Structures are given as structure tokens and as C-alpha cells.
Amino acid sequence: MLEKLWILSKDGRVFYTKSCPLSETNENLIGGFLGAIHMFIQETISSEIKSINMTNKKLSFQVDEDIIVVLQTDYLDNTILITKLLKTITFQFKSMFQEILKKKVVKVSQFNKFDTYFSNFTFPIELSLSCASCNDLIIFDFTTKEHNGEKFHFCCESCKKLYLPLDLNENQNLINLTN
């Protein structure tokens, strides 16, 4: 689940934050983390996504040429889904504030308008994924299969092969047989 989001300037000013109503945040932990990000920035030339695990949380961030976007999620949340969300948020924020970000002096309150982007989402934003076959949580790569227009996710190819979705009639037969 997306617990908290920060959008920062490259020199560490907080442009925008958003918290999921259900989440709890250890502000001390985050303070230290945001400080540490600056060390990363010095070493980061690409806009590659990085993440850090802290107790039961995962902080994932993308350093862009103008902004840094940080997501706090559960440490078992799926990396691919987090990456997608991180890229989408970075792209949306940059297209919405393109002109403002070019200016030398930036009034932070202008970025509150980014709330309108989140009106498209239903909270909490779920980022955990479990295998339709073995039910294990999938943290990294997954494969998918479509059945009756519904998409199923699997942790590996053998789970995908093993999975035989029962349709309603088969299901009822099964219940009748076991009664």
C-alpha cells in the first residue's frame, strides 16, 4: 500500500507530500532518510529507481533532473508496481508544473494543486501482489495470464502452467461431488 509520498527539490525542499489516511509514519526515520538521499544524488547520474528497506517499510525513489520523488510502502509490496507508480507520478508532476519548475524562485504552495491528480485514485493505493496459484506474495517479477477478461498474476512459469481457473459451473459440480 502506498503510505506516503514526497516530492522534493534537488536541494531537499519539500514541494509536495501526500499521506494515505491509514498509514503511520516515523518522522525521525524519514528525516534521516531524506538527509541520506543527498549523498545518493551526488553519485546518481541516471534516473534509475532505487529503494531502501527500513524495518517493515520500503522507501523507493527516483532522482529526476528537477525533482526527487519518494514513495513509502510496505517492504513486501511489489517492486514493479512501485516503479510504475513512481514513474507515473514523476511524469505527471513534471508535466503539470513544467513552467514553475524552470523558475529560479519557486513558491512551494503552488504545488498543492497536485491534489487534483490524486482525485483520480481510490485510497489506499494497493501495491501488494500475490500469486493466483500458490498465493505467495510476489515482490519482484511476475507473469500474467488472462481468463474470461480477467488478469491473473503468477510468481513463476510453473505456477502459471499449474493454474486452472474454475468457472462457476465447474465449481458448482465440484461442490456437488464433495457433498
Please give the Cα distance from 145 to 138 (Å, whole number): 15
> Quick check: 155 binds Zn ion (CB under 5 A)?
yes
> Quick check: 78 binds Zn ion (CB under 5 A)?
no
Q: Which is nearer to Zn ion, 88 or 144 (CB)?
A: 144
> Quick check: 1 binds Zn ion (CB under 5 A)?
no
Location of C-alpha cell 511524469:
91
Q: Report the 10 Å Cβ neighbour count for 128.
A: 14
Distance of CA 77 to the CA centre of its chain: 8
Which of the residues 120 through 149 are near Zn ion (CB under 5 A)? 131, 133-134
> Quick check: 2 binds Zn ion (CB under 5 A)?
no
Q: Are 68 and 61 in contact (CB under 8 A)?
A: yes
Size of the site for Zn ion (CB under 5 A): 5
Please give the Cα distance from 100 to 52 (Å, whole number): 30
Q: Which is nearer to Zn ion, 63 or 132 (CB)?
A: 132
Stretch that binds Zn ion, among 19-27, 79-87, 156-164, 169-177 (CB under 5 A): 156-164
* Shortest Cβ 142–Zn ion spacing (Å): 9
Q: Which is nearer to Zn ion, 117 or 163 (CB)?
A: 163
* Shortest Cβ 156–Zn ion spacing (Å): 6
* Shortest Cβ 153–Zn ion spacing (Å): 9
Q: Which is nearer to Zn ion, 71 or 131 (CB)?
A: 131
What is the maximal distance between C-alpha atoms in the chain?
Answer: 74
**Contact residues for 59 (Cβ-Cβ < 8 A; gap 6+):** 33, 51, 52, 70, 71, 72
**97 class by beta-carbon count within 10 Å (0-12 exposed, 13-18 middle, 19+ buried):** buried
Where along the sequence are the contacts to Zn ion (CB under 5 A)? Answer: 131, 133-134, 155, 159
